[in-house]
Amino acid sequence: MEVNINSLKKTARLAGLLYVIMCIPTPYALMYVPSHILVDGDATATTRNMLVHEFLFRLSIVSQFFSMIVFVLLAFVLYRLFKALNGQYAKLVVAFVVVQVPMVFLFETFNFTSLKIAKGEILQTVQTEQKHNLVMLLLSMHDYGMMILEIFWGLWLLPFGILVYKSQFIPRIFGLCLLIGGIGWVSNSITFLLFPAYHPFISKFIMVIGAVGEFPIILWLLIVGAKMRKPQ
């Protein structure tokens, strides 16, 4: 058992490390950069900001690609960690993660295309005002896509939470937190689609729920890794 728990600890800590690395670019790409570029209802100002902060914008695209690659690695490490407990749920974790990769790459293509239009490298015969509107349209498509993608942000946490809850080497409370966080992200996306008037209000609480749901398990995996629970 001692050898087994040591192996679990190493795998769990690797998962925690990958989890941290994956999460670092997300606030930059989805919060920091848009706050410096997007001007609600003003396509011209948005296009100008994009050109002024071109490197930041390009870096946000690359950071999303990097984050998704690490996300896939995390999914396979978690599969290795939990496959002996329940292979089906472990495979679901991987599936819900992998399906997000092509979606994110597509959405970031919208961002990159908007930059090419803003710089005048494509659609050179289109009038300036129309170019600015196209830039805003593509940026909006990116944001709408990411909001819809939150469904999968939540879905992958559900089998992950069940595995954590059923495991004997991670406290059950972390599994419950993951389940609550997963339901929160799915609810946020559905609210955005069905009840957009309520979304700005609800999303503030969902951000807190998502952080509370995932942050504890990240710290546990990174610091403790795995620790066998005492029999009840």
Task: State the pLDDT at residue 86.
Answer: 93
Range of 95's domain?
2-224
Structural domain contains residue 61: yes
* Mean pLDDT split into 10-residue runs, the chain, 232 residues: 72 94 92 92 94 96 96 97 94 97 95 94 86 95 94 96 93 94 92 92 84 88 78 50
DSSP code of 205?
Answer: H
| Model pTM above 0.75 | yes
Sign of the Cα pseudo-torsion (69, 74, 75, 80, in order): positive
Task: State the pLDDT at residue 231.
Answer: 52
Residue 87 tokens read as 């292979």
Question: Are 57 and 115 contacting, i.e. CB atoms less than 8 angstroms apart?
Answer: yes
Residue 23 tokens read as 């999460």
Task: State the pLDDT at residue 225.
Answer: 81
Task: State the pLDDT at residue 224.
Answer: 87
Q: Which residue has the tokens 């570029």?
A: 37
Structural domain contains residue 232: no
Task: State the pLDDT at residue 3.
Answer: 44
Structural domain contains residue 211: yes
Structural domain contains residue 73: yes
Cα separation, 50 vs 94, whole angstroms: 35
Angle value at C-alpha 72, between 7 and 102, nearest 5 degrees: 170
Which residue type, as a one-letter code, is found at position 189?
S
Structural domain contains residue 44: yes
Tally of domains in the chain: 1
CA distances from 163 to 84, 97, 167, 171 (A): 10, 15, 6, 11
Question: Are 138 and 114 contacting, i.e. CB atoms less than 8 angstroms apart?
Answer: yes
Structural domain contains residue 98: yes
Cα separation, 207 vs 227, whole angstroms: 29
CA 215 vs. chain centroid, Å, equals 13
